[in-house]
Structure 1
Amino acid sequence: MRDVWASENQSEQSYDAMCAAFRWDIPETFNFGVDVIDRWARERNGPALIWENEAGEERTYSYSDLSLLSNRLANVLRSRGVTKGDRVIVMLPRLPEWFISIIAVMKIGAVPIPCIEMLTARDIEYRVKNAEVKAAICRPEHAGKFDGVETSISVRLATGRAPGWLNWHEECAHAPETIDAPIVSAEDPAIMYYTSGSTGHPKAVVHASRAIYAWRVSAIYWLDLRPQETIWCTADTGWAKAGTSILFGPLSCGACSFFYDGPFVPKERLRLLRKHNITVYCAPGTELSRVVDEVRGRDIGSLRRVVTAGEAMNPVIASRWEDATGVRIDEAYGQTEALMVALNYTTEPVRYGSMGRPSPGSDLDVIDAQGQRLPPGNEGDLALLLPNPQLMLEYWKDPEKTEACILNGSDGCRWYLTGDRAESDADGYLWYRGRSDDMINSAGYRIGPLEVENALFEHQAVRVCAVVGSPDVERGEIVKAFVVLRDGVVPSPELTRELQDHVKSVTAPYKYPRAIEYLSELPVTITGKIRRRDLRDRELARTEDSAGS
């Protein structure tokens, strides 16, 4: 495998020079567990993971530790019948076992499905059935969520004792420490992420091993990570962002990830940054906006770089952070489907509010409905020119949705449509102008309105409802529900709390509507379809009026 740091000075080049010199060098075969973890364990062993929890417990793992422990778990899974191509749910929080699980599953060529622990039993049931899951790994206290699911799962592994589940530590204690890993080709499925869509159930995004290899591009050019440096990315383990900035990207560079299993406390963030000599800090804008209030006298330790993604960075907050710390914030843009494809670079001026410029090797541009590139200053569809190794293989079991996001341009170009609207400026910086569908982006969480609407519809007081994103200073957007009640039901603060609690009980709690407005009727089209756009426009106008008053 080509050394990721064969050209260690590339992050010091100008943008134009970086792009001109860049060439994709995707190997024919690539197994992350073998070609990255095991390789660093042999050639440049050093710290790979530092973990701490709220109680102050700490553990440090070298690359050789991760290599050995993932071999043991891989052998346990294989001995129980998990083979190449099988899907495995990994539902773990910020624990070392999450690292080890993802690596182990990949070592045997199986396909991990990272999931957040906030998923409800119903969320899990859909994923298990849709993906025909062969194995599941979780903490004992969440094992019960899998009960009653008519399932294809034949291997259940818990990180402690749980009735009917294998005990992770007991099973791994005597498992072999070496493994004969299968060959994984560049086009073989390597990982699946479920991501909310604007309609229907969450979509399963399938990435090939070539994408795992390509994840290093943003780690080099955006995170600017060097071997043995330490990065702290605070993303949840169920999101593709964790792959970009916690596991695949940093470890491909020979760097170390800090993992904190504890609540968000702004002052504690600063203490941990200093204590663990964090050099690169990756966090959503909403988090940075609260941490900056705790900064005193630029007390940020070894921190030299701060990056953000997942939601548009507020330029005012970014400027405050730079004034307070002396370190600027570099935003990037990516998707579960296409990884990070627009970056801000250390060698280039930052323009707060911009998502950056296309990453080396990726032709990302603003196009019209015919697939023609638009000149600067014109809003259009943000699209990625194909082929590109960072793009997903497919939406699992959904060829129609997969093909629906591809546009064949009138000039023969083939584009992946991101579903976002944007425009470029004269220097090629890209500026986000909103979604072209109904997706809600709240504090970095992608939330499909239909999932929330379906949950609300189950409550006996609701006759009809619609859910949209409402602009919010701290979160970018919040989930807002417009509800028409059944005859005889009277709106009240108590009913609002009851509806919010109901949504939390039937779907992942982060999706609940933080605001509910009661209407006598909803705006609809001539065919009776709810006009969410009218409600979004109404919320935007309300926010602008409030800001101007």
Structure 2
Amino acid sequence: MLSIFDNGAPAPCPAPFNMAAHVLAHADDLPDKIALAVLSPARADRWSFARLAAAVRGTGTGLLRAGFQPGDILLMRLGNTVEFPIAYLGAIAAGMVPVPTSSQLTAPEVTKMIAGLGAAGILHDADVPCPDDTGLPVIDTAALAAMRDLPPCDYAMGSPDRLAYIVYTSGTSGRPRAVMHAHRAIWARRMMHDGWYGLGQDDRLCHAGAFNWTFTLGTGLMDPWSAGATALIPAEGVDPQALPLLLRRHDATIFAAAPGVYRKMLSHHTTIDLPHLRHGLAAGEKLSDAIRQHWNDASGTKIYEAYGMSECSTFISGSPAHPSRAGMLGQPQQGRRVAIVDDAGNPVPMGDPGVIAVARTDPGLMLGYLGAEEETAARMRGAWFLTGDQGHMEPDGQIAYHGRNDDMMNAGGYRVSPLEVEAALLAHPGVIEAGVTDIEVKEDVRLIAAFYTGPADIPEADLTAWCAMRLARYKQPRMFRRIEAMPTNPNGKLQRQALKPLI
């Protein structure tokens, strides 16, 4: 018996189709229902489905009037505000291609993105780093806010397979890769509604992340709106220790966060009274059994974990209907075709370890990496897209996670390529060789540690400042150590795993 999960394909995506039209369809039948509440301890900013749809479609009109055309790529350099999802959906509604990016990225990092993106313009919050010499038209937040009151644009309908948006991932090359997704990606996410969330129209889903994080954008906003549910998002600056109060005050029924947020909440609260909460959701990094148990003890509710990636969102998960067993990620969602394969793409016998792979026909799988056809092809093997992560499958379809198949690091829920961090360090005049890895400094807390060779010790403050100028904060090493020589294999290749004991 081979390690293949295949219980049939999902319903095909309708055509013609527009992702924003699908997300906001409930503006017609639930116009007065609250779609979004931005929560702070003192107040909540509420948006009905009708108000949200009007703002989105008005923004689409404004972007068209600004001279942008369907198919144009728009780089988003916006902050953690409601402007982010409105501009994102407004661009998609009008047929443009938004590129959401983290506000933590530095101007040099954004410059590298722009070079290969072919963007037609930038949507920019002045408080978010962005190069000022791009030569591209810039739409600021004041202009975006004014667009909300314009007449609604028509939804740009078309093939569900056409490009809808682009997200960035570091990838194993060390350079951020632009991942292209089709409009049908939102249709594919319906498999997550039952397969992970247990999501219904009466739910009030609170996501602890920032508006401009793709985890929040999908799980916290697009999916609840698609289902006619209410999205609850903490306002910028809300401390995790205040989240239990907000969850209770606003009757949250589902809570979603990276495992680190659960850990911070539990460090301040041994008991969490949430009478309306049915369960929690976790993704972004591996959820430990300790956090899972502590949360259950404190709140009386369970956490359901999901596995995915920028290229295919989440496709393996535990759920209220199908909980994962101890030590397992969960099972592929109904409608997914998933296998454990060898390096050639051949499914391995049931129970044997191999690479976790999802079918190339999955409607949520990326169209490819922009401008990197060879790298796209390298991730495909026959009928499968190889994730690069190791696991094994049990006869009932449950999958265990064995770890990364490469040296990708995980810092606070973000996947970070060591090559990108090492490149920044190697530019320092006092560094000859560099190697980085992530290390666990305490339960469920991982930091990036950097090792280097050179003629003399470099003050840690100098290296910290050097990296801060070149890398987003989540990519910056928190520890630095000079060593005499880098650990290598007989062929001279750096052995990053051998760095961990050296700290």
TM-score by shorter chain over 0.5: yes
Letter of the 1:536 counterpart: Q
- In the TM superposition, residue 282 of structure 1 has moved relative to its aligned partner by 0.6
Cα deviation, 1:151-182, whole Å, max 9, x if unaligned, reads 4x22x12224xxxxxx3334544x2x222232
Kept after mapping to 1: 8 A contact 2:195/2:319: yes
- Would you say 1:287 and 2:261 are equivalent positions? yes
Q: Which of the numbers 361, 366, 382 marks the counterpart of 1:387?
A: 361
Kept after mapping to 2: 8 A contact 1:331/1:354: no
Kept after mapping to 1: 8 A contact 2:57/2:148: no
Letter of the 2:337 counterpart: D
For 1:21 and 1:458, locate their aligned partners in 2 and report how far apart those are by CA, in whole Å: 51
Q: Which of the numbers 328, 331, 334 marks the counterpart of 2:302?
A: 328
Provide the secondary structure at the position in 2 that maps to 1:268: helix
Cα deviation, 1:161-220, whole Å, max 9, x if unaligned, reads xxxxxx3334544x2x22223223111101100101222310000000111221222133
Aligned to 1:258: 232
Aligned to 1:457: 426
Letter of the 1:35 counterpart: H
Moved more, 231-240 or 335-344: 231-240
Kept after mapping to 2: 8 A contact 1:309/1:332: yes
For 2:401 and 2:169, locate their aligned partners in 1 and report how far apart those are by CA, in whole Å: 20
Provide the secondary structure at the position in 2 that maps to 1:76: helix
- Would you say 1:47 and 2:34 are equivalent positions? yes
Change (3 A) 1:484 1:512: same
Provide the secondary structure at the position in 1 that maps to 2:469: helix
- Would you say 1:484 and 2:457 are equivalent positions? no
For 1:200 and 1:369, locate their aligned partners in 2 and report how far apart those are by CA, in whole Å: 21
Kept after mapping to 1: 8 A contact 2:99/2:166: yes
Provide the secondary structure at the position in 1 that maps to 2:435: strand
Q: Which of the numbers 127, 130, 133 marks the counterpart of 1:148?
A: 133
Q: Which of the numbers 388, 391, 412 marks the counterpart of 1:422?
A: 391
- Would you say 1:275 and 2:275 are equivalent positions? no
Aligned to 1:158: 140
For 2:84 and 2:399, locate their aligned partners in 1 and report how far apart those are by CA, in whole Å: 35
Aligned to 2:199: 225
Letter of the 2:85 counterpart: F
For 1:125 and 1:286, locate their aligned partners in 2 and report how far apart those are by CA, in whole Å: 30
For 2:54 and 2:158, locate their aligned partners in 1 and report how far apart those are by CA, in whole Å: 20
Q: Which of the numbers 98, 109, 116 marks the counterpart of 1:130?
A: 116
Aligned to 2:214: 240
- In the TM superposition, residue 118 of structure 1 has moved relative to its aligned partner by 0.9
Provide the secondary structure at the position in 2 that maps to 1:133: coil
- After TM superposition, list the pairs within 5 Å mapping 1:65-464 onto structure 2: 65-142=51-128, 145-149=130-134, 151=135, 153-154=136-137, 156-160=138-142, 167-173=143-149, 175=150, 177-263=151-237, 265-408=239-382, 414-464=383-433
Q: Which of the numbers 464, 481, 486 marks the counterpart of 1:500?
A: 464
Provide the secondary structure at the position in 1 that maps to 2:179: strand
- In the TM superposition, residue 238 of structure 1 has moved relative to its aligned partner by 4.2
- In the TM superposition, residue 296 of structure 1 has moved relative to its aligned partner by 4.9
Kept after mapping to 1: 8 A contact 2:10/2:335: yes
- The two structures have a TM-score, normalised by structure 1, of 0.86
Kept after mapping to 1: 8 A contact 2:35/2:231: yes
Cα deviation, 1:352-388, whole Å, max 9, x if unaligned, reads 4421101111122211234332234322111112311
Kept after mapping to 2: 8 A contact 1:26/1:186: yes
Kept after mapping to 1: 8 A contact 2:306/2:314: yes
Change (3 A) 1:21 1:463: closer
Change (3 A) 1:473 1:431: farther
- The two structures have a TM-score, normalised by structure 2, of 0.93
For 1:456 and 1:363, locate their aligned partners in 2 and report how far apart those are by CA, in whole Å: 41
Q: Over aligned residue pairs, what C-alpha RMSD do you find?
A: 2.2
Change (3 A) 1:19 1:301: farther
Change (3 A) 1:481 1:218: same
- In the TM superposition, residue 141 of structure 1 has moved relative to its aligned partner by 2.2
The higher relative CO (CA closer than 8 Å, separation ≥ 6) is in: 2
Change (3 A) 1:57 1:130: farther
Provide the secondary structure at the position in 1 that maps to 2:38: strand
Unaligned runs of 5+ in 2: none
For 1:500 and 1:352, locate their aligned partners in 2 and report how far apart those are by CA, in whole Å: 40
Letter of the 1:322 counterpart: N
Letter of the 1:456 counterpart: L
Unaligned runs of 5+ in 1: 1-17, 161-166, 409-413, 544-549
Kept after mapping to 1: 8 A contact 2:77/2:103: yes
Aligned to 1:34: 21
For 1:451 and 1:370, locate their aligned partners in 2 and report how far apart those are by CA, in whole Å: 27
For 2:409 and 2:342, locate their aligned partners in 1 and report how far apart those are by CA, in whole Å: 23
Letter of the 1:317 counterpart: I
For 1:220 and 1:236, locate their aligned partners in 2 and report how far apart those are by CA, in whole Å: 24
Kept after mapping to 2: 8 A contact 1:196/1:446: yes
- In the TM superposition, residue 84 of structure 1 has moved relative to its aligned partner by 1.3
Change (3 A) 1:429 1:78: same
For 1:81 and 1:228, locate their aligned partners in 2 and report how far apart those are by CA, in whole Å: 40
- In the TM superposition, residue 297 of structure 1 has moved relative to its aligned partner by 4.4
Moved more, 365-374 or 289-298: 289-298
- Would you say 1:519 and 2:495 are equivalent positions? no
For 2:179 and 2:170, locate their aligned partners in 1 and report how far apart those are by CA, in whole Å: 10
